[in-house]
Amino acid sequence: HWVGDITYIKSHQGCSYLACVLDLGTKEIVGYALSSQPNAALATAALNNAIQRQRPNTQALMFHSDQGCQYSANVFREKLKSLGIEQSMSRRGNCWDNAVMERFFRSLKTERLNQLAFINHSAVVGVVEQYIQFYNYKRRHSAIDYKTPHQKYNELKKAA
């Protein structure tokens, strides 16, 4: 199961938007995209990035998100349908349904972004990419027995 969501990051030139795809089994950020527009193209780019990087059996995959316009847009829904990915959406107004993704965004902001000021979108991109590398390969998680997401991925891959 994958989950996705979008958050904003302020810079002196406006906002940057980060769309992430997280694997619930490993807590790994398997795909992401950044843009200056929070639209369906951003959500689709993050999904495409995840598929390119992970190469999953999409017929066995479920993608969960909130009911935001980016995830309910025809272009995004058709992308999922064309890949055979089952779509799941949160109940209206219930952020707890996507708590794992929200928790990642909280970690990103409190551990890295909140103490920084960004001049522009390019500066945001560099820091976010560095944090995702740290998060996936070095940051340990109590929910997965104090392993990194990538260690958990390797563990599950061996067991399969």
Pairing state between β 2-11 and 14-23: antiparallel
β pairing state of 86-89 and 62-65: parallel
CB atoms under 10 Å from CB of 114, counted, come to 8
In whole angstroms, give the CA distance from residue 73 to residue 128.
26
Q: How many other CB atoms are found less than 10 A from the CB of residue 132?
A: 18
Number of folded domains that form the chain? 1
Task: Return the half-sphere exposure (C-beta side, CA atoms, 13 A cut-off) of residue 139.
Answer: 18
Q: Which residues of the chain have pLDDT under 70?
A: 91, 93-96
65: CATH: 3.30.420.10
Q: What is the pTM of this model?
A: 0.93
Structure tokens at 72: 């309910």
pLDDT given for residue 95 in this prediction: 58
Beta-ladder partners of 4 = 21
Residue 15 is predicted with a pLDDT of 97
pLDDT for 93 equals: 62
d(CA 136, CA 90): 25
Give pLDDT, residue 157: 87
- Provide the residue range defining the domain that includes 43: 2-159
User: Which residue has tokens 């590398």?
Assistant: 133
